[in-house]
Amino acid sequence: MKLSIKAAVMAAVMFGTGAQAMETVVWWDFLGGGDGVRMKKLIEDFNAEHKDGIEIQATTLDWGVPFYSKVQTSAAVGEGPDMMTYHASRIPLAVSESTLTEITPEDMATMGLSADSFAPATWDAVQVDGKQYAVPFDTHPIVLYYNKDLLDKSGLIGADGLPAGLTGLENFNAALAKLKADGNEWSIAQVTADGNFAFRTVYSLLCQQDGQIGNDGDWFPGDSADKLATAISVIADWVKAGYNPPKTDYPSTVALFTSGKVPFMINGVWEVPTMDDLNKQGKLFNWGAIEIPALFNHTCTYSDSHSFAIPNNVDKAATPEKHAAVLEVIKWMEAHSLFWATAGHIPANKAVTESAEYKAMQPQATYAPLTANGVFDPKSVLAGVASPLFDAAGNAITPAMNGELDPADAAAQMRDELNGM
């Protein structure tokens, strides 16, 4: 115990005074595309700033199930990294497998962070049974992208320069009808070939009706299955009316929007870099992105969070110096997450989103308030990105969106598949 205390004091001195002892932090992430480019830059900047004390040794692995499987198996034999990126939605499963180390209140105090540093829903997403297992780095929801030129032509831009008249399903559908009548082949691009991805929109619309996704054995409590059917019907009706193209995959929706062939697109904030890059090349129209409008009772948007987690490396506990270095990495990343916002993500740290620099960032600052209305995955080992919940949604929602299955039957199928697990 005396040695541990002495080591902790030495670690505090080392990172507080910039002593010359070097500590490496092995880092794993799953970030590709624009995300990956930006994270690599943050890591480079951190290493340059800490060249005499800490070095991040980073590796990028395949997104989804491959990443989480490797983390689980590696930690179980003490061969996991020192820290990693982790989706908040995957934390309940990881905790059930004893894959993650608890982030203690003392750790948070060391980093100068607390519950008050984050939006309530984002903070809650990294908690399981009253314990914290990650530090939120961002909130990444879906948003409504829009072509301002096409909307302006149809009289759908308000005096504030933002889309107008979209609140309420009847009004939103009327706007889609107007855009169609004004010569657009399609009015909106929502992925319809992949119900797994479309689940994000469906979940948002379910939440807007105050419907719930429950948990093991009771996945859609009360009348939530009926509200799920209503949510699925919204997209199915867009397809049936000719507003949204049928059986359209993710790349095609992006191509339809960026080519100016569709005025609206529902997609993740992670497509903001695509728009920015095209805009810088002079290949894009006047565009923006806003929170998904309240088509039902109130606004509510599906969200997840990239977070930082520490694996529970069995029989290989981190030294106090190593742990101090990991906390320094997380603290630094949180303080520098304004750059991460250029990837479209909403920084989780409110000190960043409340800064003048972030408020001048568009369209990020316009949709950032949706963190107050976010809904995350239910806390279940069957939920989260690339999970059985998403797979069950894909199996049921895909045919329903394309008129091949009644939305009520799709909702029942999804419910029964999940309840049977």
Q: In sequence order, which residues have a C-beta less than 8 Å from that of residue 251 and are 6 or more positions away?
A: none
Determine the average pLDDT of the residues in 195-224.
96
Global pTM value: 0.93
Angstrom distance (rounded) from CA 178 to CA 350: 39
pLDDT above 70 covers a percentage of the chain that reads: 95
Angstrom distance (rounded) from CA 204 to CA 199: 8
Element (H or E) spanning 142, and its range? strand 138-147
> End-to-end distance of the chain based on CA atoms, in angstroms?
46
The b-or-e profile of 67-87 (16+ CB within 10 A means b, else e) is: bbebbbebbbeeebbbbbbbb
Query: Tell me, what amino acid is at 25?
Result: V
- Token pair listed for 281: 């090349």
On the question of pLDDT at 215 being above 80, the answer is yes
The b-or-e profile of 298-308 (16+ CB within 10 A means b, else e) is: ebbbbbbbbbb
pLDDT value for 15:
52
Residue 80: which pLDDT band, with cuts at 50, 70 and 90? very high
pLDDT above 90 covers a percentage of the chain that reads: 93
Residue 13: which pLDDT band, with cuts at 50, 70 and 90? very low
Determine the average pLDDT of the residues in 177-194.
98
Residue 10: which pLDDT band, with cuts at 50, 70 and 90? very low
- Token pair listed for 217: 């054995």
Determine the average pLDDT of the residues in 187-211.
98
On the question of pLDDT at 82 being above 50, the answer is yes
pLDDT value for 216:
83
pLDDT value for 217:
84
**In terms of Cα–Cα distance, which of 293, 140, 88, 120 is closest to 208?**
293
On the question of pLDDT at 7 being above 50, the answer is no
On the question of pLDDT at 17 being above 70, the answer is no
CA distances from 334 to 48, 251, 271, 294, 374 (A): 17, 31, 22, 31, 20
On the question of pLDDT at 310 being above 50, the answer is yes
Q: Indicate the domain borders of the chain.
A: 2-136+306-347, 141-303+369-419
Mean of all residue pLDDT scores within the chain:
94
Burial of 202 (0-12, 13-18, 19+ CB in 10 A): buried
Q: Are strands 306-309 and 374-375 parallel, antiparallel or unpaired?
A: unpaired
- Supply the CATH classification number for the domain 141-303+369-419: 3.40.190.10
Q: What are phi and psi of 117, to 5 degrees?
A: -80, -10
Same CATH fold, 141-303+369-419 and 2-136+306-347? yes
- Token pair listed for 181: 């009548």
pLDDT digits (tens, 9 = 90+) for 61-78: 999 999 999 999 999 999
- Supply the CATH classification number for the domain 2-136+306-347: 3.40.190.10
Determine the average pLDDT of the residues in 375-402.
96
pLDDT value for 19:
46
Determine the average pLDDT of the residues in 15-36.
82
CA distances from 184 to 162, 260, 286 (A): 20, 9, 17
Determine the average pLDDT of the residues in 191-215.
97
